Structure 1
Amino acid sequence: MGSPRKYFGTDGIRGATNARLMTAEMAMRVGMAAGAYFQRGDHRHRVLIGKDTRLSGYMLESALVAGFTSVGMDVIMVGPMPTPAVAMLTQSMRADIGVMISASHNPFADNGIKLFGPDGFKLSDEAEAAIEALIDSEVPLVPSAEIGRARRIEDAQGRYIHFAKSTFPDNLRLDGMRVVLDCAHGAAYKVAPTTLWELGADVVAIGVTPNGTNINDGVGSTAPATLAETVVAAGADIGIALDGDADRLIVVDDRGQVVDGDQLMATIAAGWARAGRLKGGGLVATVMSNLGLERHLSAQGLGLVRTAVGDRHVLEKMRSSGYNVGGEQSGHIILSDYATTGDGLVAALQVLAEVKRAGAPASEVLHRFDPLPQLLRNVRFTGGKPLDAEPVKAVIAGAEEELKGRGRLVIRPSGTEPVIRVMAEGDDPQQVEAVVARICDAVQAAA
């Protein structure tokens, strides 16, 4: 990774609106900088802008349009759309750059700006660094005759619905399946229910009445309790929850039990391996995925490659090593045969296809393995680098030796706050508890 960023975090620029990073002025500067950076070649340059349902989306969209047009770029606005739809449409509309205005699963008061290159992939570190440098410099404005034009396209939702349906097996229909779909009052509130309905499902939609301030508020993939209650009350076959920008999902089975990204990846990988279409001989996940997943895949002759936390690391590994299924326990699932980023709706369709094919309840189909007990604790520290202290290193080495073959340890500093995250999992819950306590005590003593 490159040097620390001033504006870009792990997933674009994000922050509280009308504060330091997420002001109209900042959005305009980002538009000017990104527009100047991507003006290469002598064709007419264009940018595609989508957003979720946050109140501040209008403000940031208008400011970005002003920035991009002032440096000579034409703008296409598609309104509320999932992040993966913006990535897909950027490619399909031959745009030079795609922009998604969203803070994903954060509360409504936050917002963010994610940028995609012309290939639909998130920007490289180099491109982000170059755009950062331009944000802080004087970007030249074009002569008045060369100012860009802006237009809103009305049929973008239909294009994405058509694309999403094209990823579902031709020989299957969802007739007879009752699906509760929670759209988090977010970006997929129109496209996701319509897609499932067109494929024949009996859709019970919740989280589909956005008002600008209710996105992710007690609904969506980070708050699945409402979904679980609704699935049981409606006697549904399955429940699907997307997050605010619909790039991740969590599933609830017919009994109201939450199914996380690890189980979903195992389900998709098994189906694809059976059909002879799983590439790389396994899947890519992060260090946070449960050891139970790794053992389950291994028993089927499939591998698990682990990366650092963050879907961009998963995607980089998938691209460099030829895998087509990857993701995170949190429900970011990347199916690179179809999309350049996590797509909650497309992943949901693959899960629904597996349940439909099996002809069995979701509670049987989706619980592929018993997860090992996993414990995560955060230890605050005031300064220095406690993980470099010799006593801490010694305790960690002892813990790793103790868990060998029976569990796993992941210790990492948070990227956003002065916290060390200590995670252990293993066959013996008492041992896991003792190991985590010992490491946390050592870190605290060194901090």
Structure 2
Amino acid sequence: MFRHFDRKQQRELAGCEANHIICAKRHQFFFFVSGVTFSYGTAGFRADGLKLSSTVFRAGVLAALRSLKTGYAVGLMITASHNPITDNGIKIADPDGGMMAQDWEPFADALANAPDPQSFVKLVLHFAKEENISLSRESSAVILLGRDTRPTGESLLEAAKQGIKCIIGSVALDMGIVTTPQLHWMVRSKNMGMKASESDYFMQLSESFRCLMDMIPKEMTVKGIVTQLMVDGANGVGGDKLEQLKTLLTGLQIQVKNTSKQGEGILNEGVGADYVQKEKVPPRCFGPNDIGLRCASLDGDADRLVYFRISKINSSSIDLVDGDKILSLFALFIKAQLHCLNKSESDGLRNVLPARVGVVQTAYANGASTDYLKQLGLEVVLTPTGVKYLHKKAAEYDIGIYFEANGHGTILFSEYFLSNLQKMGNDLASSNAGSEPHKAALRLLAVSKLINQAVGDALSGLLLVEVVLQYMGWSMQNWIELYDDLPSRQLKVKVADRTAVITTNAETKVVQPFGLQQAIDAETAKYHQGRCFVRPSGTEDIIRVYAEAFSQEAADSLARSVSQHVDHFLGFRTSQKSD
């Protein structure tokens, strides 16, 4: 039951928050942050970790209300992913393990920005009434809590618990220090009636990995593959968890650098997937001794993954394999299994198990990757930038594959497809056990358990990459040469008001201000293989410019020209700064 209905009880809730504020100040967290406005986005709320105490407290209340509304457990993760160690954040996982429903984001914003405890109480009570959320003593909420390795995490976790306690009957389950994908997986598993501990997560991944490795064709086993994998753990939780996971794996040699326990450096500083992908240089602790090896990099909370190889010519540069090529590798594997599954030795090809496969990207995906996927005969669609859009679209398919270039992505299998696949697998086990179609069915079922279907997961994604490379008999060079990325450039232009730019067609076309899109089109037409779009930032008054062309010089020139048009149309002239 919500603790506070009448005025006296409302004062009690205000007092509850006020007492928490005093406690927070004692820990050098500050409740009122002058000039800071919080906005709930794909990453939840993020800010300096020392300014988040009250926001996390309120997110605890929000999570409890979300659990009451849905009737299922939800998750609350304290992390700032690839941000600097001084930052922290809070985000809520819905019962399906995905991100909180978008229609709750305005309420989250209002709650986080309430100017005082009294306003906060009124917002909570009003929203509960509008959403028909029962606050009786018979109602209960379950919230799974997790945090990464940031020093502010422990205090913020206590703030979240205090917020949850404001809803009587709410239960906060502390899952400890975990990766963000682990917490999402735990929420999804719990609500599906499955075991949901960290050991269960490790067991499911390792068993699925073993199943897939056992079915690799003998002629492909380690053919052209460098057996050892070097992994950059971003000095964070992902490296620590991979150290635990690798003890359960066979057929894969992993050496992890940059874990938080080793004390090799600071979280995300000169390390991690975001750093490697943007700077295109090796992370710290990687150098000449690693030349030629297959390397991977996780981000701070292990929901992003990129691969790279240190250049033999210059050990300070890399051959980057980003999310686009990870997606392409997975799509190629899935397509091969479906082809094999629908193959009958007696009558050739037939539609045994039709499956609609969709590949979902954003406009930031390199144009070469999109062309490659279309050449495979796959359906490719674009969504606005943000995992919440990609995930939602991917869920519309029997098999939906999505990745952003930054390395965040996963594969979704519909329950309908998995049910039919399981039935077919059982039928084949009885009539044609050990056949290639039978193995294909088993592989797809194993992939559905190995890959994290709740959210992008660097650990599960890494294991699937390793399986597919060995299945294909591919070296790192084979993967790199899958297609050649078009040179690109990203710039950002400061503007007075980013909302003056309105886009459509998955952010690839400008609707307002009138005339800007025509100017972009005119500039783009000057360059062979040119492509360019602009979009407003979601958090600050800047307009992001992305350009591609046949050469790096041409891409740079196109980006600069379009940036000048943006500056001209929005009437706020300033210098452009590269990301």
Alignment TM-score, normalising by the size of structure 1: 0.77
Separation (CA, whole Å) in 1 of partners of 2:525 and 2:338: 38
Q: Tell me, what secondary structure is at the counterpart of 1:295?
A: helix
Aligned to 2:549: 426
Q: Tell me, what secondary structure is at the counterpart of 1:79?
A: strand
How many residues get paired? 383
Aligned to 2:257: 206
User: Structure 1 pair 280/427, CA: closer, same or farther in 2 (3 Å)?
Assistant: farther
Contact 1:250–1:260 (8 Å) recurs in 2:
yes
Q: 2:387 aligns with which of 311, 314, 319?
A: 311
Aligned to 2:163: 67
Separation (CA, whole Å) in 2 of partners of 1:234 and 1:198: 25
Contact 2:227–2:253 (8 Å) recurs in 1:
yes
Q: 1:376 aligns with which of 447, 468, 490?
A: 490
Aligned to 1:335: 411
Q: CA deviation at 1:396?
A: 1.8
> Which amino acid letter does the alignment assign opposite residue 208 of structure 1?
T
1:8 aligns with 2:40: yes
How do 1:103-114 residues align onto structure 2 when only pairs under 5 Å count? none
Query: Which shows bigger deviation, 377-386 or 326-335?
Result: 377-386
Aligned to 2:180: 83
Q: CA deviation at 1:298?
A: 2.1
Q: 2:270 aligns with which of 218, 243, 247?
A: 218
Separation (CA, whole Å) in 1 of partners of 2:464 and 2:356: 19
Q: CA deviation at 1:290?
A: 0.5
Q: CA deviation at 1:214?
A: 2.1
How do 1:338-357 residues align onto structure 2 when only pairs under 5 Å count? 338=451, 339-357=453-471
1:196 aligns with 2:246: yes
Aligned to 2:440: none
> Which amino acid letter does the alignment assign opposite residue 32 of structure 1?
V
Q: 1:414 aligns with which of 523, 527, 537?
A: 537
Aligned to 2:57: 28
Q: Tell me, what secondary structure is at the counterpart of 2:328?
A: helix
Separation (CA, whole Å) in 2 of partners of 1:426 and 1:291: 9
Aligned to 1:441: 564
Q: Tell me, what secondary structure is at the counterpart of 1:188?
A: helix
1:233 aligns with 2:289: yes
Separation (CA, whole Å) in 2 of partners of 1:359 and 1:432: 35
Q: CA deviation at 1:51?
A: 0.9
User: Structure 1 pair 119/82, CA: closer, same or farther in 2 (3 Å)?
Assistant: farther
Separation (CA, whole Å) in 1 of partners of 2:293 and 2:473: 11
Separation (CA, whole Å) in 2 of partners of 1:390 and 1:369: 37
In structure 1, runs of 5+ residues without a counterpart are: 95-117, 121-152
Separation (CA, whole Å) in 2 of partners of 1:45 and 1:13: 22
User: Structure 1 pair 88/212, CA: closer, same or farther in 2 (3 Å)?
Assistant: farther
Aligned to 2:523: 399
In structure 2, runs of 5+ residues without a counterpart are: 1-36, 72-137, 215-220, 312-317, 340-353, 413-447, 502-509, 572-579
Separation (CA, whole Å) in 1 of partners of 2:65 and 2:563: 48
Q: Tell me, what secondary structure is at the counterpart of 1:181?
A: strand
Separation (CA, whole Å) in 1 of partners of 2:387 and 2:493: 24
Q: 1:46 aligns with which of 111, 136, 142?
A: 142
Separation (CA, whole Å) in 2 of partners of 1:220 and 1:163: 25
Separation (CA, whole Å) in 2 of partners of 1:202 and 1:169: 14
Q: What percentage of aligned pairs have identical amino acids?
A: 22
User: Structure 1 pair 259/62, CA: closer, same or farther in 2 (3 Å)?
Assistant: same
Q: Tell me, what secondary structure is at the counterpart of 2:229?
A: strand
Aligned to 1:18: 50
> Which amino acid letter does the alignment assign opposite residue 322 of structure 2?
D
Q: Tell me, what secondary structure is at the counterpart of 2:382?
A: strand
Separation (CA, whole Å) in 1 of partners of 2:514 and 2:290: 56
Contact 1:358–1:365 (8 Å) recurs in 2:
no
Q: CA deviation at 1:351?
A: 0.9
> Which amino acid letter does the alignment assign opposite residue 284 of structure 1?
V
User: Structure 1 pair 357/254, CA: closer, same or farther in 2 (3 Å)?
Assistant: farther
Separation (CA, whole Å) in 1 of partners of 2:254 and 2:273: 17
Aligned to 1:248: 304
Separation (CA, whole Å) in 1 of partners of 2:254 and 2:306: 17
Point out the structure with the larger helix share. Answer: 2
Separation (CA, whole Å) in 1 of partners of 2:383 and 2:50: 35
1:160 aligns with 2:160: no
User: Structure 1 pair 308/73, CA: closer, same or farther in 2 (3 Å)?
Assistant: same
Q: Tell me, what secondary structure is at the counterpart of 1:39?
A: helix
Q: Tell me, what secondary structure is at the counterpart of 2:162?
A: helix
Larger Rg: 2
Q: CA deviation at 1:49?
A: 0.6
Q: CA deviation at 1:88?
A: 1.2
Alignment TM-score, normalising by the size of structure 2: 0.60
